[in-house]
Structure 1
Amino acid sequence: MSTTPEILGLLIKRVQDRHHRQLDEALAPLGVSLVQWNALREIERNPDASQHQLALLSFNSDQAFGALTSRLIQRGLIVRQNGPGRAVTHQLTPAGKSLYLQGRDIHAKVIAKSFAPLDAAERDMLDGLLGRLLESEA
């Protein structure tokens, strides 16, 4: 009997939930949550992105991302800048860049450990399968 789509969806969600819990725990000594660190990562990766684009990239609503960036500004981790038109862009401060880099090392270790049971060929296969799902209009 083949695995149902429902079971596959639950398994993907369980892996994602495990990643979130482990990353929140591992990042806590830095004084940052996964949600906060992910915002720093997307700001670093997308320096000219609007607040709306960053909200989408970090899996937040526009309102939630706005509140999140306000807290990051208060902590001195990012600054807002006027972008083209009415857009607002964000940039990491030196403190934000340092926190992002520390968290990047932690993130890499947690994710590597999570996928360690898979060999390179299995990781490539999983990448291909998940990529196909994301490319489809299902």
Structure 2
Amino acid sequence: MENAHNSVESNAAVETLDHETRATDRDHEALRVWLRMLTCTNIVESQLRTRLRQSFDSTLPRFDLMAQLDRHPDGLKMSELSRRLMVTGGNVTGLTDKLVQEGLVVRQDDPRDRRSFTVRLTPEGKAQFRRMAGPHEQWVVELFAGLDHGEKVQLLKLLDRLKKHLGTLSV
């Protein structure tokens, strides 16, 4: 019975997050594709946010920042972190300040540019990130389990084509 209850809650959550309810069959196909992508993104992000909070008392932005630093052991400048996370410098600064206070990252002056500094994970930050990374990956695998291998490959190719096209557009 509990599984049925969870399923009802999951369906209600999907409907709440569903941007596609704005579109009808009369709307342009491109609009419907956009709303479907947005809906899927929101559902995946919501699931990851909830699971990170419940399992690790952490947030998705915090996980994403630590993931970037884990991939770059020599650290990243704040401007590069902001660019990679696609958020404002103020957002990165606030999150970094909190992680510094918790001893999970350090800021180091850049000897080539005294106005900037590099942010790196501390050993405790690396350990905390690694504890979250495995479960996070499994959650993503689970969330995309509705597609078989060939469908995921096809979706990657299609999204790659779309990304390349979007990169050719000027604002």
Q: Do structure 1's residue 14 and structure 2's residue 42 form an aligned pair?
A: no
Q: 1:57-93: per-residue Cα shift (whole Å, max 9, x none)?
A: 1121111111110011111110011223233111111
Q: Which residue of 1 aligns with 2:122?
A: 93
**Runs of 5+ consecutive residues of structure 1 not aligned to the other structure:** none
Q: Which moved more, 1:5-14 or 1:83-92?
A: 83-92
Q: What do you get for the CA RMSD once the two structures are aligned?
A: 1.8
Please report the TM-score for the alignment, with normalisation by the length of structure 2.
0.74
Q: Do structure 1's residue 52 and structure 2's residue 79 form an aligned pair?
A: yes
Q: Which has the higher Rg, Structure 1 or Structure 2?
A: 2
Which of 125, 128, 141 matches 1:112? 141
Residues 55 and 61 of structure 1 are in contact (CA less than 8 Å); yes or no, is this contact kept in structure 2? Answer: yes
- Separation of aligned partners in 2, 1:95 and 1:128: 38
Q: Tell me the CA shift for residue 48 of structure 1.
A: 3.8
Residues 77 and 95 of structure 1 are in contact (CA less than 8 Å); yes or no, is this contact kept in structure 2? Answer: yes
Q: Percent identity?
A: 25
1:1-138 equivalences in 2 (<5 Å)? 4-28=29-53, 29-46=55-72, 47-83=74-110, 84-85=112-113, 86-136=115-165, 137-138=168-169
Please report the TM-score for the alignment, with normalisation by the length of structure 1.
0.91
Amino acid at match of 2:52: L
Cα 1:82–1:14, aligned 2, differ >3 Å: closer, same or farther? same
Q: How many residues are matched? A: 138
Residues 50 and 89 of structure 1 are in contact (CA less than 8 Å); yes or no, is this contact kept in structure 2? Answer: yes
Runs of 4+ in 1 over 3 A off after TM superposition: none
